[in-house]
Amino acid sequence: MADAARGKPMPHQGIFEPWTDPVAKPLIQFQNVTKRFGDFTAIDDLSIDIFEKEFFALLGPSGCGKTTLMRMLAGFEAPTTGTILLAGDDISPIPPNKRAVNMMFQSYALFPHLSVYDNIAFGLKREGMPKLDIHARVEEMLRLTRLERFARRKPHQISGGQRQRVALARSLAKAPKLLLLDEPLGALDKKLRQDTQFELMDIQEKTGTTFVIVTHDQEEAMTVASRVAVMDEGKLIQVSTPDVLYEDPRSVYVADFIGDVNLIEGKAKPSGDGIDLHWAEGQPVLHCKTAKPFGEGQTCHLAIRPEKIAIHSQEPEARNKLCGKILDIAYLGNISTYHVELPSGHVIKAQSANTRRIARRTFTWDDTVWLSWTDTAGVALER
Amino acid sequence: MRRFSWFNATSLTLGFAFLYLPMLILVIYSFNESRLVTVWAGFSTKWYGELLGNELFLDAAWVTLKVAVISSTIATVLGTMAAYVLVRSGRFSGRTLFSGMIYAPLVMPEVITGLSLLLLFIGIGLDRGVLTIVLAHTTFSMCFVSVVVSSRLISFDRSLEEAALDLGCTPWEAFRLVTLPIIAPAVISGWLLAFTLSLDDLVIASFTAGPSATTLPMRIWSSVRLGVSPEINALSTLLIGIVTLGVISASLVSKRNLMRQQQDEQTAARTA
Ligand SMILES: Nc1ncnc2c1ncn2[C@@H]1O[C@H](COP(=O)(O)OP(=O)(O)OP(=O)(O)O)[C@@H](O)[C@H]1O
Ligand SMILES: [Mg+2]
């Protein structure tokens, strides 16, 4: 998650939060939408509001219904029950070609008989745009996606990542009000992906387009999105801003899905401003601040991020501390993740920045170390 | 090099002899001086000259060509439409019955197709002539086209059409600008198939043709019944020549396409 905090331009935070404004009109509204294929339910009674100028990310495991959701917005599938409103109007009677929506397909769906240039120009030509304007616009898109050299090629003559960029350029070309991107950057290398993410955010800032983007890369979701929706089996599990999703997940599923996390299961005991967690024989009780009401003896999961756990060679002064042996060290360049095995057999992950060269690392395999964290570092979850 | 084997050589010779000997004999005798087909009397091209002067044959050739071009074109349009509807409309009740009915004429004995068409034309009082042959040929070659086109459509990635719709095409534009260019090779083979079928059909044409229109196969058939003439041999040789030319040019075209594609791919690999 090293890049998560970095990428986001600040104006997104604090200022742009239409979902907290009770009078703001959503651009897209899903109202109790269910989509069934035969007797399989792909989207299950889903309701959500997406606002204008949002960068809305859909995150979820394969087959959870992300593409289906987008296809309903683009007009290729109709909801089995429920309604979808676009700017307040039911969109079900509007055919795909009349919707001010463009979609980038997960399979790219490039026209194999047309060159890269003509693929990108396709939508503009249908619009009846003057030739010169089309040319200028296509050139701009080619530049943006760094495909200038490949303009004359056919889709089968370029690489997978290049194809993905053509698909992206083609959907961007018409500058629609609503843009649906189904895994737009998955095939790109990290550097190009980050650059493209910033380009997308830039386009969004300039044109005010509303983006709905599917991604399997949670780092990407956190970088670009104004809000992230975590889905599972056709349902929305949590919809929040990336920071809330990361810092304050509402369920173990979300905590586990987004980023790396230690999950400690135990029995809660209300104590002061939070709970005490009794979780293993012979291990110290852990304290966690929480506003949620836990009953005495209720099952509780403490979710704590590895980077919020400090690692020491001597016993520290701290509310929560555990002692264990280093089992494994994952060196990731800028940070290292230490897997620390406790006497109870649990393995806790702790992360620290590699401020010194690797040869001068403080800890090594089999060292006995102390882990500590504050009582606000973790989140207590009921399920 | 593999070792030369007598067995291989013999089977190859026998196989080719079986296939091409009859045609070879036909071609050779078309250059025979004598009117008697089985007696060689020296080389001559006079039968070709006589053929060009034979109004009956020229008329029949013209009728055949007209019928083949018109009927295969109509059959291609109808067959492609039928294939598109069958592949695209998904499941509707009676789909299996419907598609079965489209393919049934494939296995129907030609005699029956011909007879039923004849009865129909008589029933509705349509004068038999070029029009009725065209209609009959369209009917039976349409299902061949639809088989060829639908096998291509099944593997056609539907999201391409969706992408076209998404970019503002009407369904018809999506078909014209995206689907049709991509399935064009199948449509063209369908047309060629229909054209060939129409060209060499004898049975159905015999049922549906009237005195005003006779196709080439019918003309050949009826004159052969009066005895094989060197003129027929000459005509057949010409037909063989035309077919050979067609096959060779078709394969040359497809080979050139393949080569161009490979070249493109190589360029792509170099500059990528
Ligand atoms: N046309 C269809 N007929 C039947 N089932 C379908 C159809 N389209 C999708 N599904 C099913 O609906 C579920 C959701 O599919 P969807 O394509 O939306 O998944 P996804 O979240 O986009 O997954 P991925 O991340 O792998 O792309 C899947 O289980 C899929 O098998
Ligand atoms: Mg998908």
CATH code at B79? 1.10.3720.10
Tokens read off for A164: 């993905």
SS3 label, residue A382: coil
CA distance A123 to chain B (A): 5
Q: A66 CA to middle of ligand 1, Å?
A: 8
Beta partners for B195? none
Ligand 1 binding pocket mutation candidate from A46, A62, A67, A106 (most atoms within 8 A of CB): A67
Inter-chain CB proximity A74 and B169 less than 8 Å: no
Q: Best mutation site among B160, B167, B187, B270 for testing chain A: the one with the most A CBs within 10 Å?
A: B167
Inter-chain CB proximity B166 and A96 less than 8 Å: yes
Give chain A positions within 8 Å (CB) of B182.
111-113
The beta-carbon neighbor of A111 closest among B173, B178, B272 is: B178
Region A2-30: what's the mean pLDDT? 68
Tell me the HSE value of A56 on the side-chain side, using a 13 A CA sphere. Answer: 28
* Mean pLDDT of chain A, nearest integer: 89
- Position B44 scores a pLDDT of 86
Residue A112 forms contact with B (CB below 8 Å)? yes
**Residue at B25 is within a domain:** no
Per-residue pLDDT at A8 exceeds 60: no
- Position A153 scores a pLDDT of 93
Going residue by residue through chain B (272 aa), what tens digit of pLDDT does each one get? 566 788 888 998 999 898 889 888 888 888 888 887 778 888 888 888 888 888 888 889 899 999 999 999 999 999 999 999 888 877 777 778 877 887 787 888 889 999 999 999 999 988 888 999 999 999 989 989 998 898 889 888 889 999 999 999 999 999 999 999 999 888 988 898 898 889 889 999 999 988 888 898 898 888 888 877 788 888 888 888 887 887 788 778 778 877 876 776 666 565 54
Region A137-146: what's the mean pLDDT? 93
**Residue at B233 is within a domain:** yes
The beta-carbon neighbor of A113 closest among B159, B167, B181 is: B181
**Residue at B12 is within a domain:** no
Give chain B positions within 8 Å (CB) of A112.
160, 182
- Position A9 scores a pLDDT of 47
DSSP chain B: -PPP-HHHHHHHHHHHHHHHHHHHHHHHHHTBSSSSTTS---B--HHHHHHHH-HHHHHHHHHHHHHHHHHHHHHHHHHHHHHHHHHHS---TTHHHHHHHHHHHHHS-HHHHHHHHHHHHHHTTPPPSHHHHHHHHHHHHHHHHHHHHHHHHHTS-HHHHHHHHHTT--HHHHIIIIIHHHHHHHHHHHHHHHHHHHHH--HHHHHH--TT---HHHHHHHHHHT---HHHHHHHHHHHHHHHHHHHHHHHHHHHHHHHHHHHHHHHHHH-
CA A2 and chain centroid, separation: 14
DSSP A333-354: SSEEEEEEE-TTS-EEEEEEE-
Rg (CA), chain B: 24
CA nearest ligand 1 atom 20, residue: A63
Residue B267 forms contact with A (CB below 8 Å)? yes
- Position A11 scores a pLDDT of 47
Residue A22 identity (one-letter amino acid): P
CA distance B263 to chain A (A): 10
Please give the residue of chain B at the shortest CA–CA distance from A153.
B268
List the Cα angle A247/A203/A48 in 5-degree steps: 50
Beta carbons within 8 Å of B46's beta carbon, 6+ residues apart: B33
Residue B157 forms contact with A (CB below 8 Å)? yes
Sign of CA dihedral B236, B242, B245, B249: negative
Lowest mean pLDDT among A99-103, A329-333, A355-359: A355-359
Buried (b) or exposed (e) across A200-237, using 16+ Cβ within 10 A? bbebbeeeebbbbbbbebbbbbbbbbbbbbbbbebebb
Phi, psi for B45 (deg, rounded to 5): -110, 20
Fill in the DSSP letter of residue A85: E
| Measured distance CA(B169)–CA(A68) in Å, rounded | 22
CA nearest ligand 1 atom 3, residue: A37
Residue closest to A219 by CA, chosen among A182, A193, A201, A253: A193
Residue A97 forms contact with B (CB below 8 Å)? yes
B179 touches B161 (CB < 8 A): yes
| Measured distance CA(B16)–CA(B18) in Å, rounded | 5
CA distance A139 to chain B (A): 18
Q: Predicted confidence band at A47 (pLDDT cuts at 50, 70, 90)?
A: very high
| Measured distance CA(A309)–CA(A377) in Å, rounded | 8
Sign of CA dihedral A17, A22, A28, A33: positive
Cα-based distances in Å from A349 to A264, A296, A340, B39: 11, 28, 6, 100
Inter-chain CB proximity B268 and A158 less than 8 Å: yes
Residue A109 forms contact with B (CB below 8 Å)? yes
Beta partners for A180? A103, A212
Length of chain B: 272
The beta-carbon neighbor of A102 closest among B167, B171, B181 is: B167
- Position A57 scores a pLDDT of 94
Residue B162 forms contact with A (CB below 8 Å)? yes
DSSP A210-225: EEEEEES-HHHHHHH-
Counted domains in chain B:
1
CA B32 and chain centroid, separation: 31
- Position B33 scores a pLDDT of 85
Region A305-310: what's the mean pLDDT? 92
CA nearest ligand 1 atom 11, residue: A42
Residue B169 forms contact with A (CB below 8 Å)? yes
Write the pLDDT tens digit of every residue in A247-273: 999 999 999 988 889 999 999 999 888
CA nearest ligand 1 atom 27, residue: A62
Inter-chain CB proximity A111 and B160 less than 8 Å: yes
Q: What is the pTM of this model?
A: 0.81
Beta carbons within 8 Å of A32's beta carbon, 6+ residues apart: A45, A46, A47, A81, A82, A83
**Residue at B262 is within a domain:** yes
Residue closest to A66 by CA, chosen among A82, A42, A96: A42
Tell me the residue range of the domain where B262 lies: 45-271
Residue A148 forms contact with B (CB below 8 Å)? no
Give chain A positions within 8 Å (CB) of B164.
111, 122
Residue B168 forms contact with A (CB below 8 Å)? yes
SS3 label, residue A115: coil
Size of interface A-B (CB pairs under 8 A): 69
| Measured distance CA(B210)–CA(A152) in Å, rounded | 56
Angle between helices B46-53 and B230-271 (to 10 degrees): 90
CA distance B17 to chain A (A): 44
**Residue at B183 is within a domain:** yes
Residue closest to B140 by CA, chosen among B208, B234, B242, B240: B208
- Position B167 scores a pLDDT of 95
Report the nearest atom of ligand 1 relative to the CA of A231.
21
DSSP A286-307: EEEE-SS---TT-EEEEEE-GG
Burial of A197 (0-12, 13-18, 19+ CB in 10 A): buried
Pocket of ligand 1 (CB under 6 A): A 37, 40, 42, 60, 62-68, 106
Given the structure tokens 């004598």, which residue do they identify?
A: B34
A249 touches A255 (CB < 8 A): yes
Residue closest to A370 by CA, chosen among A304, A320, A330, A336: A320
**Residue at B33 is within a domain:** no
Write the pLDDT tens digit of every residue in A206-225: 888 899 999 888 888 888 89
Report the nearest atom of ligand 1 relative to the CA of A58.
21
Per-residue pLDDT at A10 exceeds 70: no
Give chain B positions within 8 Å (CB) of A128.
none
Report the nearest atom of ligand 1 relative to the CA of A71.
18
Give chain A positions within 8 Å (CB) of B187.
none
| Measured distance CA(A270)–CA(A300) in Å, rounded | 11
Inter-chain CB proximity B264 and A76 less than 8 Å: no
Closest ligand relative to A66 C-alpha:
1
Given the structure tokens 């400690």, which residue do they identify?
A: A264
**Residue at B264 is within a domain:** yes
Domains in chain A (CATH in brackets) are 2-100+176-253 (3.40.50.300), 260-381 (2.40.50.100)
**Residue at B234 is within a domain:** yes
- Position A4 scores a pLDDT of 42
Higher pLDDT, A198 or B249: A198
Tell me the HSE value of A372 on the side-chain side, using a 13 A CA sphere. Answer: 12
- Position A125 scores a pLDDT of 94
Inter-chain CB proximity A97 and B166 less than 8 Å: yes
Residue A368 forms contact with B (CB below 8 Å)? no
